[in-house]
């Protein structure tokens, strides 16, 4: 189309831009700030263009700017892979579209892709608050589409203004709800995903990574969002036993602890059920990694997961939606009574040229203590008595990390302690490994579940001891027992005055828990259970689809009735009865003409009705009541009944009936 | 117009659609739009959103993303509602009196129709689309609205509008509901007046041009009036004067107007069309100057007269040639 | 429940009216609607204008109507040399009484047929129209009351317009109704051609009414019940004339009042004791057609506009 781009008025442009910004906001917050600035700048500029009636920039400039923005995105994400990068790209493209927003269909395109942006946000986060985002975003998008439509029918200004627009859009949204909910409940779900996402696409928003270097989880402590929730059948374990096992790290290169191939790829031995077993169900928030968290040591492995030799629970696919699994853990199990040589070598190896002072101290202790347990107790005592402090505010470590921490800095948190402690153990020839995971959690009395936040992330050490196998040693507990007893919140600062805020947050989390259980966790299985609850048998996929079609049909009928119902055109019940009869006749093609009087109509159609004479009589009665003010209440009621009961049947006609 | 409409085959050959439509319903005015006459399909934008929704559905299903599903279903349900609303916007609308007043060829025909909204709801964002032009209109509750669509200029003669549709994409532009109408009432297009027509034929022979009838005073009796000093005696109407007890004198009409005689065969011009154009221009000029004229087309003779009605008759005769 | 077609009080009066209607129908067959309109104009206290070609029975209608009504009737053939005094009458000086004496013109009758009114000069026409409007005649400063009822049936030939003075649009609304008679149907025309002239029946016609009873009927028509919905309908029609794009000016409030009155009269003629929308519909074209002046470019006349409005105004 070569016709000159018409100037789009401010109203529809503003609605569309607002829709886009609201839809993109959560995406923008997760993006590097510079990209957000670019998006906002483009949107603001487009509004100015609409307001001041500037010209849009020429094509080459638009192209140049778009390429520059995408380049910026690629640099910020180190490539265009990953879902964040993909949605970021979408945001940027839409923002770039602002530069050539010159036609009606561009506006519609932006508004509808904004809906897509809203839906895609839920791939990252499905928390309860986002319901506000969902409804707000859709409401705005509908209002924008309504406004664009008004432009389409050549109305420059909206009748009733923007408030009327919002009201109209709210009406549309509310009337869409029943059907949307019915679809949501009955739409057949996939028992298994059709495809999983490749690892590269995952770009890990939260949670633990599969490596650890001191200082790496510091930002996690500040993240108060829930990591998972656990409901226990029976009593929950005491706080000191709430070690939720995550990645187990063996290899240490002097800076970073990493997983080792052998123990993570070997199957774990079967753990026999014990007498003190914990049975619990975990609702894991999506963290885009494969591992699940469990207490030591899982007896039964959830479906779709495997247990490695170092008792790490992993799933085949990354956890991208809220995932629920049940575990039974036996805390009394002895892990690896005998340590194979290869593993022992893995568990004592240290880079030669690092941490000389730690090594020296370890060797010295080795001389003094023959027994491993005594040595460990001594070191823990040392940590307790020397001026070590637990703090999130600390300095980064250099080349000889353990040395610097143990002898100079002496201030840090779990990662610092776990790493340095493990180094000392290994230097003393005691097999040691670092375990990351979560420790503690908040027991929700009201909801009967344990809430574990990302700020509960923790790292501890396991040493192998003759006779008791791998044994958990938590050096942090030696320094700051409160951290273990009452959770990260008690040591991570936060004033006393915020107590009420914390209470409020905990209450909100209970709501979130219900939301997770009933809404986000709604899958094929729950769908089936719900059907059973309503007394329906287990349905196949086809049966489910048929049920959905049935329910939908009913709802569409109800909607059609509600929308198409004629508002009462008269307060006179006699007239209403007459109009109803007229509508029934209309359905048979015998309706009255627009300007036709009742008598004229009756005379016209009487011969085509099986009960023509009766209809004429009825019309005369109607005229007498309505135009002659004749008839008392009884007459009126009699007429209404007669009109309701009148059988609209066509007379048998030899010739073809013509429709009116 | 704001939106391009579906292309239509220009040929008048009744295709399958035409035949099916005609069998299905009557398309001539007056019409009341109802279930059987209203068709609904998604617009281009509707299809686009549908594809987008399909992508959202598959993605959300795959990851069992329940909020994503909810968003998708919300939009789907809104689409269903918007379909019903588009239908409602047309359902029960009465269309009446399709007609166009005659114009000269070369001028756009303004075809008009009355749309009557008997219901208690406003109908907004309707469009009458003739395939060649479209015009939008609203019909508030309980009112009658005149809808005019400008058809492009046509050749002189009688015409019937082509099949038109009355359509709406309210409220979101997702669905187009439309109804076909094919008015059978004809409209007339007069010939186009020639731009450089020669002046009105004056003088010359008495067949073409002026019929000078410098009437003597006194041929046509006109009326009576009171006698005034100076009125000749033979003008006094004695009988009437006696009846009215006063002197009355007869007034005589004086034929001043000079009729113009227009003959199509003798008009200048190379061919019939050109002559028709010139005669048309003459008629308009004569009417403007309020001079009576006679039009002769073959054996047919119209006038003399200078009225508008005469003009219409003459132009119509020329158009029908 | 009463049927709309049964009459109320004054039953004998209604019967007389029915008889009068039947008599006229006997003479002018197949033109029931025009006859009903003529009776409606009479009973609404207005006047009737018939626009039609000569020879379709205008005169017969007027004659039959006047005979049925039982008053005296006059026919005035309008010509261009007619003066107002030819219609109204003149004051003459009587030598015997040494005073002026008024000699009434042909207008002093209950039913006046003003034939080819467009042939008279505007001055003469307006004398008639003034008398029609006022119900009285003023000659030489003295006022003479016209008889009651006073009903003018004027005719106008719409075709042969040369040398005539068609009534100006602004004067047309002096006539309550304007109608056409139209050609008879084929069957009726055949009967006209073969059977003896029905006009002979006029001679033997017995009047069913008399002027007094006509006045009573006029009073009865004025009291006829008009319900709210019918008033709504009338208002809607009048409003539609005002918003119609082809019309310069819609109906005036006075015309609206006339519409109610005529609809009542028509209901009475149809032997109803309340007014139906059907009555309004029947009289509306005759009442509005000549009052609505369409803009020239619309290519429509008042009757077409009235028909459009009737067709597109819903009956409440």
How confident is the model at residue A209, as a pLDDT? Answer: 75
The reply to whether residue B97 touches residue C92, judged by beta carbons under 8 angstroms, is no
Asked whether residue C20 falls in the same domain as residue C108, the answer is yes
* Eight-state DSSP code of residue A456: G
H helices of chain B, where?
16-24, 44-62, 66-90, 238-244, 272-288, 308-320
Mean pLDDT for the stretch of residues B304-308: 76
The reply to whether residue A142 touches residue B85, judged by beta carbons under 8 angstroms, is no
Asked whether residue C246 falls in the same domain as residue C105, the answer is no
Total count of domains within chain C: 2
Domain presence at residue C35: yes
| CA max distance for chain B | 117
Mean pLDDT for the stretch of residues B169-186: 88
- Between C189 and A110, the more confident residue is A110
Residues lower than pLDDT 70 in chain A: 1-6, 155-160, 191-193, 195-207, 215-220, 222, 485-498, 568-569, 653-660
> How far is CA B186 from its chain centroid?
9
Given pLDDT bands bounded at 50, 70 and 90, which one contains residue B232?
low
Given pLDDT bands bounded at 50, 70 and 90, which one contains residue B47?
very high
Closest partner CB to C230 (pick from A620, A621, A627):
A627
The reply to whether residue B173 touches residue A108, judged by beta carbons under 8 angstroms, is yes
pLDDT > 70 fraction of chain C, expressed in percent and rounded = 93
Given pLDDT bands bounded at 50, 70 and 90, which one contains residue B208?
very low
* CATH code assigned at C99: 3.40.50.300
Asked whether residue C133 falls in the same domain as residue C194, the answer is yes
- Between A311 and C297, the more confident residue is A311
User: Which of B53, B54, B64 should be substituted to probe chain A, the one whose Cβ sees the most A Cβ atoms within 10 Å?
Assistant: B64
Joined together, the tokens standing for residue B235 give 């003008």
- Between B10 and A89, the more confident residue is A89
Least confident of A309-313, C74-78, C162-166: C162-166
How confident is the model at residue C263, as a pLDDT? Answer: 94
Q: Which residues of C touch B307 (CB under 8 A)?
A: 161
Mean pLDDT for the stretch of residues C54-61: 80
Joined together, the tokens standing for residue A460 give 């501890």
How confident is the model at residue A533, as a pLDDT? Answer: 82
Mean pLDDT for the stretch of residues C223-227: 89
Which segments of B203-297 are extended strands (E)?
209-211, 220-226, 248-253, 259-263, 293-297
**Res. B266: pLDDT tops 60:** yes
Q: Which B positions 106-165 lie with beta carbon below 8 A of chain A?
A: 116, 118-121, 124-125, 127, 136
Given pLDDT bands bounded at 50, 70 and 90, which one contains residue B6?
very low
- The helices-and-strands tally (H runs, E runs) of chain A is 24, 18
**What CA–CA distances, in Å, run from C84 to C50, C91, C101, C115, C142?**
21, 13, 17, 15, 15
How confident is the model at residue C10, as a pLDDT? Answer: 52
Is-contact A631 A639, C-beta < 8 A? yes
Gap from A548 CA to chain B (nearest CA, Å): 13
Gap from C33 CA to chain A (nearest CA, Å): 15
Residue C69 main-chain phi, psi, to 5 deg: -75, -25
**Res. C140: pLDDT tops 60:** yes
The reply to whether residue A597 touches residue C281, judged by beta carbons under 8 angstroms, is yes
Mean pLDDT for the stretch of residues B90-99: 85
Asked whether residue C150 falls in the same domain as residue C191, the answer is yes
Residue keyed to tokens 């600390």: A394
CA distance C231 to A518: 61
**Chain A residue closest in CA terms to C272:** A628
A-to-B residue pairs, Cβ atoms closer than 8 angstroms: 180
Of A328, A309, A430, the closest CA to residue A370 belongs to A430
User: Which of B1, B77, B92, B121 should be substituted to probe chain A, the one whose Cβ sees the most A Cβ atoms within 10 Å?
Assistant: B77
Mean pLDDT for the stretch of residues C272-278: 90
The reply to whether residue A598 touches residue C315, judged by beta carbons under 8 angstroms, is yes
Least confident of A360-369, B24-33, B276-285, C142-151: B24-33
Range of the structural domain that residue C112 is part of: 1-205
Neighbouring chains to A with at least 3 Cβ pairs closer than 8 Å: B, C
Neighbouring chains to B with at least 3 Cβ pairs closer than 8 Å: A, C
* Eight-state DSSP code of residue B116: E
How confident is the model at residue A207, as a pLDDT? Answer: 60
CA distance A264 to A290: 13
CA distance A470 to A460: 12
A85: Cβ contacts below 8 Å, ≥ 6 apart: A73, A74, A77, A79, A203
Domain presence at residue C211: no
Joined together, the tokens standing for residue B147 give 């809808």
Is-contact C314 A594, C-beta < 8 A? yes
**Any chain A CB within 8 A of the CB of C250?**
no
Is-contact A216 A415, C-beta < 8 A? yes
CA distance A580 to A644: 8
Given pLDDT bands bounded at 50, 70 and 90, which one contains residue B206?
very low
**Any chain C CB within 8 A of the CB of A603?**
no
**Res. C231: pLDDT tops 90:** yes
Mean pLDDT for the stretch of residues B258-264: 78
Return mean pLDDT, chain B. 79
**Any chain A CB within 8 A of the CB of C227?**
yes
CA distance A438 to A228: 10
Q: Which residues of C touch A575 (CB under 8 A)?
A: 229
Residues of A carrying an active site annotation? 414, 458, 474
How confident is the model at residue A170, as a pLDDT? Answer: 95
Q: Per residue in A189-215, pLDDT tens?
A: 876 667 665 554 444 445 677 778 776
CB atoms within 10 A of CB B198: 12
User: Which of B223, B239, B292 should be substituted to probe chain C, the one whose Cβ sees the most C Cβ atoms within 10 Å?
Assistant: B223
Asked whether residue C148 falls in the same domain as residue C238, the answer is no
Q: What is the DSSP string of A614-627?
A: HHHHHHHHHHHHHT
**Chain B residue closest in CA terms to A557:** B84
C1: Cβ contacts below 8 Å, ≥ 6 apart: A621, A624, A625, A630, A631, A635
Return mean pLDDT, chain C. 83
**Res. B10: pLDDT tops 60:** no
Asked whether residue C135 falls in the same domain as residue C246, the answer is no
CA distance A471 to A424: 16
CA distance B95 to B161: 15
The reply to whether residue C80 touches residue B223, judged by beta carbons under 8 angstroms, is yes
Is-contact A224 B91, C-beta < 8 A? no
CA distance B139 to A115: 32
- State how beta strands B157-159 and C48-51 pair: unpaired
CA distance B293 to B286: 7
Q: Per residue in B117-144, pLDDT tens?
A: 888 888 988 999 888 888 888 888 878 8
ipTM field: 0.84
* CATH code assigned at C274: 1.10.8.80
Given pLDDT bands bounded at 50, 70 and 90, which one contains residue C8?
very low
Is-contact B96 B73, C-beta < 8 A? no
Closest partner CB to C296 (pick from B30, B102, B308):
B308
**Res. C315: pLDDT tops 60:** yes
Helix axes C211-223, C253-269, angle to 10 degrees: 110
| CA max distance for chain A | 122
Question: Which strands form C111-115's sheet, in the order they lie side by side?
Answer: C73-77, C111-115, C151-156, C48-51, C177-179
CA distance C77 to C114: 6
CA distance B149 to B152: 10
Is-contact B110 B188, C-beta < 8 A? no
How confident is the model at residue B255, as a pLDDT? Answer: 47
- State how beta strands B209-211 and B248-253 pair: unpaired
CA distance A90 to A98: 13
**What CA–CA distances, in Å, run from A134 to A320, B63, B226?**
19, 18, 94
How confident is the model at residue A485, as a pLDDT? Answer: 67
């Amino acid at each position: 189309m070569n016709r000159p781009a018409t100037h789009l008025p401010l109203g529809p442009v503003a609605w569309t831009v607002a829709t886009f910004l609201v839809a993109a906001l959560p995406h923008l917050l997760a993006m590097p700030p510079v990209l957000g600035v670019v998006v906002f700048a483009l949107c603001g500029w487009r509004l100015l263009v609409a307001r001041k009636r500037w010209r849009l920039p020429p094509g080459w400039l638009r192209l140049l700017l778009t390429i520059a923005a995408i380049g910026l995105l690629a640099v910020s994400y180190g490539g265009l892979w990953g879902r964040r990068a993909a949605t970021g790209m979408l945001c940027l493209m839409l923002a770039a579209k602002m530069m050539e927003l010159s036609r009606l269909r561009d506006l519609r395109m932006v508004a509808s892709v904004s809906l897509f942006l809203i839906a895609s946000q839920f791939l990252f986060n499905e928390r309860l608050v986002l319901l506000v985002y969902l409804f707000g975003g859709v409401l705005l998008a509908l209002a924008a589409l309504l406004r664009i439509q008004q432009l389409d029918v050549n109305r420059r200004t909206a009748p009733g203004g923007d408030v009327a627009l919002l009201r109209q859009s709210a009406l549309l949204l509310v009337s869409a709800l029943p059907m949307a909910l019915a679809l949501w409940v009955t739409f057949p779900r996939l028992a298994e995903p059709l495809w999983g996402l490749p690892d590269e696409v995952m770009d890990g928003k939260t949670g633990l990574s599969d490596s650890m270097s001191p200082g790496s989880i510091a930002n996690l402590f500040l993240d108060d969002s829930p990591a998972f929730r656990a409901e226990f059948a029976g009593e929950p374990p005491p706080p000191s036993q709430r070690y939720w096992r995550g990645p187990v790290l063996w290899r240490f290169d002097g800076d970073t602890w990493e997983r080792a191939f052998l123990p993570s790829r070997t199957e774990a031995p079967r753990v026999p059920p014990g007498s003190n077993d914990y049975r619990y169900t975990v609702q894991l928030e999506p963290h885009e990694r494969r591992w699940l968290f469990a207490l030591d040591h899982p007896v039964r492995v959830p479906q779709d997961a495997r247990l490695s030799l170092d008792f790490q629970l992993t799933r085949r696919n990354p956890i991208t939606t809220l995932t629920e699994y049940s575990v039974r853990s036996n805390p009394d199990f002895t892990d690896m009574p005998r340590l194979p040589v290869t593993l022992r070598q893995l568990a004592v190896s240290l880079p030669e040229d690092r941490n000389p002072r730690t090594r020296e101290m370890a060797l010295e202790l080795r001389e003094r203590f023959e027994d491993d347990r005594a040595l460990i107790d001594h070191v823990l005592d040392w940590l307790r008595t020397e001026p070590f402090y637990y703090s999130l505010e600390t300095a980064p470590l250099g080349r000889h990390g353990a040395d610097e921490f143990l002898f100079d800095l002496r201030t840090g948190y779990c990662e610092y302690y776990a790493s340095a402690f493990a180094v000392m153990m290994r230097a003393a020839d005691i097999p040691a490994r670092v375990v990351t995971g979560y420790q503690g959690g908040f027991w929700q009395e009201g909801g009967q579940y344990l809430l574990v936040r990302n700020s509960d992330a923790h790292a501890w050490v396991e040493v192998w001891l003759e006779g008791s196998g791998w044994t958990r040693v938590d050096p942090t507990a030696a320094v700051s027992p409160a951290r273990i007893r009452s959770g990260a919140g008690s040591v991570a600062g936060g004033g006393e005055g915020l107590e009420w805020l914390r209470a409020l947050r905990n209450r909100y989390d209970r709501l979130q828990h219900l939301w997770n259980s009933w809404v986000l966790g709604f899958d094929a299985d729950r769908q089936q259970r719900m059907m059973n609850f309503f007394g329906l048998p287990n349905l196949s996929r086809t049966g489910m689809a048929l049920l959905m079609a049935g329910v939908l049909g009913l709802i569409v009928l109800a909607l059609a009735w509600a929308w198409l119902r004629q508002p009462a055109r008269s307060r006179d019940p006699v007239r209403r009865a007459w109009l109803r009869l007229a509508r029934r006749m209309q359905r048979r093609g015998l309706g009255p003409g627009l300007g036709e009087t009742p008598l004229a109509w009756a005379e016209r159609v009487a011969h085509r009705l099986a009960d023509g004479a009766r209809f004429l009589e009825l019309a005369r009665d109607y005229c007498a009541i309505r135009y002659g003010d004749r008839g008392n209440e009884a007459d009126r009621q009699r007429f209404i009944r007669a009109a309701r009961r009148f059988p609209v049947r066509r007379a048998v006609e030899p010739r073809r009936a013509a429709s009116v | 117009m704001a939106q391009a409409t579906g292309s239509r085959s220009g040929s008048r050959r009744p295709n399958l659609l035409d035949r099916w439509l005609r069998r299905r319903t009557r398309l001539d005015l007056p019409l009341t739009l109802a279930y059987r006459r209203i068709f609904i399909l998604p617009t281009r934008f509707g299809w686009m959103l549908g594809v987008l929704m399909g992508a959202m559905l598959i993605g959300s299903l795959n990851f069992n993303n329940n909020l994503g599903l909810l968003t998708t279903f919300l939009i789907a349900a809104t689409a269903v509602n918007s379909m019903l609303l588009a239908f409602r916007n047309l359902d029960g609308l009465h269309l009446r009196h399709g007609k166009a007043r005659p114009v000269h060829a070369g001028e756009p025909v303004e075809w008009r129709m009355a749309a009557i909204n008997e219901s208690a709801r406003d109908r907004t964002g309707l469009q009458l689309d003739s395939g060649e032009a479209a015009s939008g209109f609203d019909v508030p509750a309980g009112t009658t609205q005149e809808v005019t669509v400008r058809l492009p200029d046509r050749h002189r003669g009688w015409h019937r509008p082509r099949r038109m549709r009355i359509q709406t994409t309210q409220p979101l532009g997702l669905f187009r509901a439309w109804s076909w109408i094919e008015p059978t009432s004809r409209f007339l297009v007069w010939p186009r007046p020639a731009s450089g027509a020669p002046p009105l034929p004056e003088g010359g022979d008495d067949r073409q041009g002026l019929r000078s009838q410098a009437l003597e005073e006194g041929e046509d009796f006109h009326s009576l009036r009171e006698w005034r000093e100076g009125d000749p005696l033979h003008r006094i109407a004695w009988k009437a004067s006696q009846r009215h007890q006063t002197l009355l004198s007869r007034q005589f009409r004086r034929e001043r107007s000079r009729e113009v005689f227009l003959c199509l065969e003798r008009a200048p011009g190379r061919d019939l069309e050109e002559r028709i154009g010139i005669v048309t221009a003459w008629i308009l000029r004569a009417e403007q100057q309020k001079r009576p004229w006679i039009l002769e087309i073959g054996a047919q003779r119209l006038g003399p007269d200078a009225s508008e009605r005469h003009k219409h008759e003459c132009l119509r005769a020329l158009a029908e040639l | 429940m009463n049927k709309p077609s049964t009459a109320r009080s004054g039953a004998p009066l209604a019967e007389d009216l029915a008889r009068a209607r039947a008599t006229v129908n006997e003479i002018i067959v197949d033109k029931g609607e025009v006859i009903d309109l003529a009776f409606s104009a009479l009973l609404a206290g207005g006047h009737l204008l018939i626009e039609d070609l000569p020879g379709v029975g205008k005169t017969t209608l007027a004659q039959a109507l006047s005979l049925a009504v039982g008053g005296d009737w006059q026919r005035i053939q309008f010509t261009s040399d007619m003066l107002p005094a030819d219609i109204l009458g003149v004051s003459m000086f009587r030598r015997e009484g040494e005073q002026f004496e008024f000699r009434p013109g042909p207008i002093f009758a209950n039913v006046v047929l003003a034939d080819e009114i467009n042939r008279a000069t505007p001055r003469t026409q307006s004398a008639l129209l003034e008398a029609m409007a006022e119900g009285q005649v003023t000659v030489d400063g003295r006022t003479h009351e016209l008889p009651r009822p006073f009903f003018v049936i004027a005719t106008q030939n719409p075709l042969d317009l040369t040398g005539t003075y068609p009534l100006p649009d602004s004067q047309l609304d002096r006539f309550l109704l304007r109608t056409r008679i139209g050609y008879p149907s084929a069957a009726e025309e055949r009967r006209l051609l073969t059977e003896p002239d029905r006009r002979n029946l006029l001679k033997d016609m017995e009047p069913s009414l008399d002027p007094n009873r006509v006045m009573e009927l006029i009073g009865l028509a004025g009291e006829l019940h008009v319900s709210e919905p019918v008033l709504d309908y009338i208002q809607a029609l009048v409003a539609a004339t005002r918003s119609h794009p082809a019309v310069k000016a819609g109906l005036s409030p006075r015309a609206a009042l006339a519409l109610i009155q005529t609809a009542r009269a028509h209901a009475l003629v149809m032997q109803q004791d309340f007014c139906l929308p059907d009555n309004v519909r029947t009289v509306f074209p005759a009442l509005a057609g000549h009052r609505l002046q369409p803009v020239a470019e619309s290519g429509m006349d008042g009757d077409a506009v009235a028909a459009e409005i009737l067709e597109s105004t819903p009956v409440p």
